[in-house]
Structure 1
Amino acid sequence: MRDRGADELFHPGRVGQFLAEHGIGSGEVDAERIGDGQSNVTFRVTGGGRDLVLRRGPRPPLPKSTHDMVREATLLRALAPSGVPVPEILAVCEDERVLGVPFYVMPYTEGVIITDVEPEPWRDPSSRRRVSERLVDTLVGLHGVPIGSGPLSELGRPEGYLERQVRRFGALWEVNTGREVPLVAEIGSWLAARLPESQGASVVHGDYRLGNLMFAPAGLGAPRVALVLDWEMATLGDPLADLGYLMATSAEQGMPSSVMQLSPVTAQSGYLRRHELAERYATRTGLDLSGIDWYQVLALWKAAVFCEAIYSRWLAGERPGDTTFAPRLESGVLELLDQAHALILGE
């Protein structure tokens, strides 16, 4: 195998047998770990005429109600007819004897994911602006998908979504940290005391950012979104939670950086600034964004909580291959909290 670090997360013999049983090629398979995800794990699987992507959770034990690949696959199948560009699910494995956790398989798609560099044809202000516009417009399209009474309606209960988010993440901090950071409770109390009234309900992606979009290859012309990726945190709730997260984690010149700015390229000229992202979204949805700072504080606070969980797992030796992201979190978590606090103070 090309990625020797995949040995504990991917078993070629068992995966090859599973694929063959589902009529997806035959013969031996090889795997290469891909993507920048800090939670679930993604492999490109080749061999026997196949070119696939396998997505699975991290090594067990896993926190309850997290890394649910079966639920994620169900969501993607439900969204497929909506026009939102989602991956095609070819097969789902619920048998934990194969890889220790459930996983699903989709076709490999060639495309562009923008993080710290763009394709050469898009390195100009007008192309960068179109990338930002497609980023916002795709989110608007997702939030416009009717929930109805079908499979999407079973993803969650949108009523009380914001209150549950504040309560859940406040509790998660206590079980995932080994240090005292009073600002966590202070921000949590501020959020709980100022819960906004949601203006509607939609599918909420939960990790909506530029790095989770795949664009069609640059040689095909103007930027076009081919796929929206990484749906593990999706549920039903307040659509402004996605917009607040997108804004709070977008790199912008003159603004503090953070470990959650995973596409730092957006600090360059041409990309929409945070307020411009909000303006385009508001124009297309008609939603009132006067309270969007609350949603940005929520996003940064939640990010601090789940980054602390990653940091604690790394300290415990549970992320042995992570030499870049987790080591930054000792200070990175505190920086996220400081940015949330600055928003509260109006700075």
Structure 2
Amino acid sequence: MSDENTGTGEGLPGLDLDRLRSYLDREVPGLVSGPLTGHVITGGKSNLTYVVTDGTGSWVVRRPPLGHVLATAHDMAREYRVMTALRDTDVPVPRTHHLCEDTEVLGAPFYVMEHVGGTAFRTQEEIGPLGADGIHAVAERLVTTLGRLHAVDPATVGLADFGRPDGYLERQVRRWSKQLEASRSRDIPGIDELRDRLARTIPEPSAPAIVHGDYRLDNVLVTDDGELTAVLDWEMATLGDPLVDLGLMLVYRERPVTGGDHPATSAEGFPSSAELVEMYAAATGRDVSRLGWYVAFGCFKLAVIAEGIHFRHGQGLTVGAGFDGIGDVVAPLVERAHTMLKED
């Protein structure tokens, strides 16, 4: 992972390390044993993620972004609950330590979790040393892990009430339509027509499962020898139609929002979208015949998310680098979604 703003708290927007240390000493005695330093993990474009250390141990702190937080987004309790529930399954997640919903501590809810080793691959340069065979193996593990997540029985891990699968796709289209209105600051050709087309053509849903909500290569950590050590960024997890995860993963496969001109998913050895679909179908046995709709919906959702980040960046409320061009991905995503619906 790349990072910046290493220090004792100065230059760490949204994280007061002295207040954090005092709070953890009181609520989780023995976790921290000295003064904290920290840095921001860059690359993510939504929740703020920091690594903090007392010189002996290290932990990750997650909190919502600064300002213009969309309703229902950036849910710290949701992330914390699902990772805690999955800790004893074969879906790799960081071990959780503490959730704080008292906004008086850091100005927003936050949680503390294990700092897991590994890299969130974003560029060809980062993933290239694995070689073509190693890169292909990582992609296979990415898909296999998604299948394992979708095979977990929510009730057995205490998540039976984590969402409402009935009517999930209809609610998702409505939800992201509302998020679009909350972030709208410019004209986006074709996006309203896309919203309406998605609402008119909703498919029969796949059997419900735990949905990650933002599953992609750079939301997992991978070791230097290609082992997948953790799935991260569970803020949009729920119960619903798992094919939305596959559809969005394919959107990121073709148009990642990180990695610049040479994203990791374009490296030699990384499977094509068709190969990824075959892997998923083989691993899960699910019907993927209407996947075009799910890819189109993934384009719409990602376009809305990018537009929200573009809005915050224009207000000076983003932390870290890499936001200048985020608004440029919106129009191509809308165009691709219309193409996918024609083919569906």
Indicate if the aligned counterparts of 2:133 and 2:269 stay in contact, CA closer than 8 A: yes
Residue 148 of structure 1: SS of its match in structure 2? helix
- Whether contact under 8 Å (1:282, 1:289) holds in the other structure is yes
- Normalising by structure 1, we get a TM-score of 0.90
Contact 2:96 2:112 in 1 (8 A): yes
Unaligned 5+ segments in structure 2 are none
Question: How many angstroms does 1:242 deviate by?
Answer: 0.2
One-letter amino acid of the counterpart of residue 101, structure 1 = A
Aligned mate of 1:195, from 191, 202, 216: 202
More displaced 10-residue stretch of structure 1: 79-88 or 262-271: 262-271
TM-score normalized by the length of structure 2? 0.91
In the other structure, the counterpart of 1:227 is 230
Q: 1:205 aligns with which of 184, 201, 212?
A: 212
Deviation at 1:53, TM superposition (A): 0.9
Unaligned runs of 5+ in 1: 252-256
| 1:94-113 matches, cutoff 5 A | 94-113=101-120
Task: Give the corresponding residue for 1:345.
Answer: 342
Shift, 1:60, TM fit: 4.2
Q: For residue 214 of structure 1, what is the aligned residue in structure 2?
A: 221
Q: 1:41 deviation in Å? A: 0.7
Matching residue of 1:254: none
Note the C-alpha offset of 1:65: 2.0
Question: Aligned partners of 2:216, 2:247: CA distance in 1, in Å?
Answer: 11
Residue 133 of structure 2 corresponds to 126
Displacement of 1:148 after TM fit?
1.8
- Structure number with the bigger relative contact order (C-alpha 8 A, sep ≥ 6) is 2
- Rate the CA distance shift 1:132–1:119 in 2: closer, same or farther, 3 A: closer
Cα deviation digits, residues 183-223 of structure 1 (max 9, x gap): 1111111111111111200110011000011113x2xx4x2
Match of 2:6 in 1: 2
Find the partner of 1:15 among 13, 20, 31. 20
State whether structure 2 residue 158 is matched by structure 1 residue 151: yes
Q: Deviations over 1:237-264 (max 9, x none)?
A: 101000000111104xxxxx46367781
CA contact (8 A) 2:67 2:312 kept: no
After TM superposition, give the deviation of residue 71 of structure 1 in Å. Answer: 2.1
Is 1:178 the equivalent of 2:185?
A: yes
Q: Percent identity?
A: 37
- Quote the residue 1:31 is aligned against: 38
The alpha carbon displacement at 1:286 in A equals 1.1
Evaluate the alpha carbon distance shift between residue 94 and residue 171 of structure 1 in structure 2; reply closer, same or farther with a 3 A threshold: closer
Q: Please state how far the C-alpha of 1:96 moved relative to its aligned partner.
A: 1.2
Instruction: Give, as a single letter, the amino acid of the residue that structure 2 aligns with 1:284.
Output: A
| Residue 293 (structure 2) pairs with residue 294 (structure 1) | yes
Please state how far the C-alpha of 1:64 moved relative to its aligned partner: 2.5
Tell me whether 329-338 or 11-20 shows the greater mean CA deviation.
329-338
Structure-1 residue corresponding to 2:51: 44
- TM-fit CA distance, 1:150: 5.5
Distance in 2 (CA, whole Å) between partners of 1:304 and 1:214 is 25
- Residue 119 to residue 180, structure 1, CA distance change in 2 (3 Å): closer
User: Cα distance 1:160–1:33, how it changes in 2: closer, same or farther (>3 A)?
Assistant: same
Shift of 1:333: 0.9
